[in-house]
Amino acid sequence: MSEWALKRFWTTVDVAPCDGGCEVLLDGRRVNTPAKRALVLPTQRVADEVAREWGEQVETVDPTTMPWTRSANAALDKVAPQRDEVTAHLADYAGTDLLSYRAAGPQALTDRQAELWDPILAWLDGKFHARLNVTSGVMPIIQSPDVLTRLAAAMTPMSDFQLTGFYDLVTLTGSYAIALAATEGYGSAESLWALSRLDESFQIEQWGDDEEAAEHAAIKKSAFLHANDFFHSA
């Protein structure tokens, strides 16, 4: 990402109102996205977080320390120009939702999946009138087209910024149901992330943890928590 390879050249970072929301100013100059779009942010909270990230840069800009800025750029440069493609891609996850595919064994794992995942599917049905079918093993299961249509419709009222957060909530967990639960405030983000890692947690209990896998999981968890915060702040 060569557009990020720049040295800090600014002294002051400010947030100012503008048409459509807020903007971040570096020495009085508006920040633009990598695609040269105006970085217009929908809420004061998002703008404050983006401004904080720019203010914390030292010698060179490090995008790995700027999740709010990266999410805002994605909303404007990637999601907004191809919203239909993004929503279609996410809707596909509902058809292969993590919670629909249960282990064939051992019994302790299948019982835990039923205990912890069934309530989310019941909530989903009550909230969206969308009951997802469940199967054991890896053989594909067909979901009702009407159910998938109702679930996809949940994205319609989302802004481009909210949809950006939702995208990460879905893709990081592999579960459209868990992502919707996060957006609707069903449980804490921490607990929902734990539900998405139920199988991995069970394996760790049986065989112990792997340092590299644990590090990778921690990175994904941080991204999930950020996506949840970004969604609710936008």
Q: Where are the beta strands (DSSP E) in 51-103?
A: 101-102
- Give the per-residue pLDDT at 5: 60
**81-233 matches 2-63 in CATH topology:** no
- Give the per-residue pLDDT at 2: 42
Quick one: what percent of the chain has pLDDT higher than 70? 98
Q: Give the pLDDT band (50/70/90) at residue 213.
A: confident
- Give residue-wise pLDDT tens across range 40-60: 999 999 999 999 999 999 989
Rounded to an integer, the average pLDDT of 175-203 is 96
Q: Mean pLDDT over all residues of the chain?
A: 95
- Give residue-wise pLDDT tens across range 68-119: 999 999 999 999 999 999 999 999 999 999 999 999 999 999 999 999 999 9
Kindly report each contact of residues 191-195 with a partner whose C-beta sits within 8 Å and lies 24 or more positions away, as own/partner.
193/221, 193/224, 193/225, 195/116, 195/117, 195/120
CATH second-level architecture of 2-63? 2-Layer Sandwich (3.30)
- Cβ contacts of 175 within 8 Å, gap of 6 or more: 93, 97, 98, 99, 196
Q: What is the CA radius of gyration of the chain?
A: 20
* Cα–Cα distance measured from residue 143 to residue 60, given in angstroms and rounded to the nearest whole number: 49
The secondary structure of residue 117, as a DSSP letter, is H
> What are the Cα distances from residue 43, in Å, to 23, 87, 155, 231, 234?
10, 23, 19, 11, 6
- Give the per-residue pLDDT at 208: 79
- Give the per-residue pLDDT at 29: 96
Q: What is the identity of the amino acid at 84?
A: D
Domain ranges of the chain: 2-63, 81-233
- Give the per-residue pLDDT at 7: 87
Does the pLDDT at position 206 exceed 90? no
Of 1.20.970.10, 3.40.630.30, 3.30.1240.10, 1.10.3580.10, the CATH number of 81-233 is 1.10.3580.10
Does the pLDDT at position 139 exceed 70? yes
